[in-house]
Each structure stands twice: as structure tokens, then as C-alpha cells.
Structure 1
């Protein structure tokens, strides 16, 4: 594995640990490129990412993402994660249930010049709603 691929993996792991798990949003300034594009959240930039991190921290204050697998090639890094949390705040109009959730997440990152330039995500929203014991409503499920 090339040094650059190894470095890319490390940057993504740092980002997940420091920004998502430790909720240190200031680190995003150093880990994301100035022209960062987020294909999962709105707005499709750093502000959208910060907004979802803040929302998840209010809804699931103990949320953690455990990295299960990482695949890296060239400028791309894909991670398979487990999102574990307790629903203690309103989420997409759903009042806190106190339920513990364990949900699959897949993220792909493109890196450029030692920073994360793009992000895509697949989150098992149906699994989350099932664990919260609420019906899957298209409007709630499709919000970014």
C-alpha cells in the first residue's frame, strides 16, 4: 500500500474519531478542504456536515461510530461503520424514545492534498426507525 493511501486512511479515521465521535467540530477546518462537497447533507458543504453533526448530537448525545472495515484505493477511502446511540432528543419530528440503536453506515471519501474533498453516505434509516419503533414515513426518511 502506498504512503499516500495509508495517509488517506489515517485522515479519514481521524475525521471520524475527532469530528463524529468526540464531536470536535473545530477539527473539521483542518481535515476538510476549503472547497469540500458533501453529497449526503444540505447544504452540500461543510455547513451541512456541521448541521447534521449538531442535530445528531442533540438527538443522540452519546452517538459513536465504530469503524468495522476500511478500503482505500488511490484518492478514495470507504468505511463500513456501526452507529450506536441512545435516542434522547427529538429526531425528525420523533420525540425521544430512550431506545438504544445500532445502525449500519457506509461512507466514501475523496481526498485531495491531504484533506477530505468529498463525502458520500448511506445510512440505514429504515433500520433506525424500526429500532425506534416508529413507522417509516417517506417524508421523515428522506430528509437530509
Structure 2
């Protein structure tokens, strides 16, 4: 029985490639050469995914440690971040924008820490769900120092271009942050 062409050409998950190769080759629908080619592509895809995962782990480490000299190794020069609309600045651009954002966070929360809870890597995008914590020791978005500890949930989507982060969309639990800082 011959399967429709769409089934033969559909991309398969890398982990299942070998099984699909055997299944289709036994039915004369999948050549050994195609299996080798697909395995090579799957291997290349795995390498790209691991590189993207490592890059985003470095990004969170940069925010945790505040080592601004690492910005060029992680962020593209034309980087743009899209932050929640209620923030003082809903976008920041380039290395200077990243530097300014890290300095503002770490001056208000010197012990700022982002703990990644989940990470999904797909093609040129990486999504992280993380918990950010810190002690409010300086002015932040117009709120004077409170000395309170905060813990807020965040989700970011990163677009990778080449070997750098080119764009980010970030959502934070601003309601919880406002409550923890005594604003609600």
C-alpha cells in the first residue's frame, strides 16, 4: 500500500527518524540515502537546539551576575526587547538598551536572580518560564526602596539570529510585583 506523498515528505521528530527510515524503507518508500540525509539534518538540528539552549542559559546567567562585559557575546547589536506596556520603557534596543535594563534592575534589586523553570527550543525561538527574585534596595519604576523581597513569574520568548539573541518578548506578573512592593 503506497502512502500519500504528503506522508512521505512530512518532517519527523529527530528521535523517531531511524524508526521512520526502517518503516518506510521496508515498504519501498524511503531510501537508505534519504535516511542518512535526514539523520544528518536531525543531528544538525540537535546541535542548533543545544547551542540556542546554552545561549539562553548564558543570558539568564548574565542577568543573575550583572557582568555587562558579556552583553556582546549574547545579544545581537540590533537587539530589541518588547516589555510589558505598563513599564516606564516598553522597548529597549541594542547593547546600550540591554546594559541600561540590567543596570536599572540590579541597582533596584542588587541580588536579582532568575531561576529558569522551563525552556522550550524550537527552530529560531526559545521560550523560558522563570522566577525572578530580589530584595528591593533602590528605586524601581518610581517606587522608592522598600527592603521587601520579591518573587515574580516571568515568561520570555527569544528569537535567535546566527549565534546571538536578536529579539525578546517578555511578560511579567506585574500585579504580584505591585502587591509585593506595597502598591496594592
Normalising by structure 1, what TM-score? 0.87
Q: Which residue pairs with 2:98 in the alignment?
A: 49
- Other-structure match for 1:36: 79
Higher relative contact order (CA 8 A, sep 6+): 1
Larger radius of gyration: 2
**1:48 offset after TM fit, Å?**
2.0
Q: CA deviation at 1:12?
A: 0.6
Q: Which has the higher strand share?
A: 1
Q: Which of 136, 140, 145 is equivalent to 1:96? A: 145
Report the count of equivalent residues: 134
Q: Which residue of 2 aligns with 1:6?
A: 50
How far apart, in 2, do the equivalents of 1:94 and 1:34 lie?
Answer: 31
Q: Which has the higher helix share?
A: 2
Alignment match, 1:111: 160
In structure 1, list runs of 5 or more residues that go unmatched: 136-144
CA RMSD of aligned residues (A): 1.4
1:87 is aligned to 2:131 = no
In the alignment, the residues of structure 2 paired with residue 119 and residue 51 of structure 1 have an alpha-carbon distance, to the nearest angstrom, of: 15
Q: Structure 2 length as normaliser, TM-score?
A: 0.69
Q: CA deviation at 1:37?
A: 2.0
Q: Distance in 1 between matches of 2:131 and 2:92?
A: 25
Aligned residue runs from structure 1 range 113-132, under 5 A? 113-132=162-181
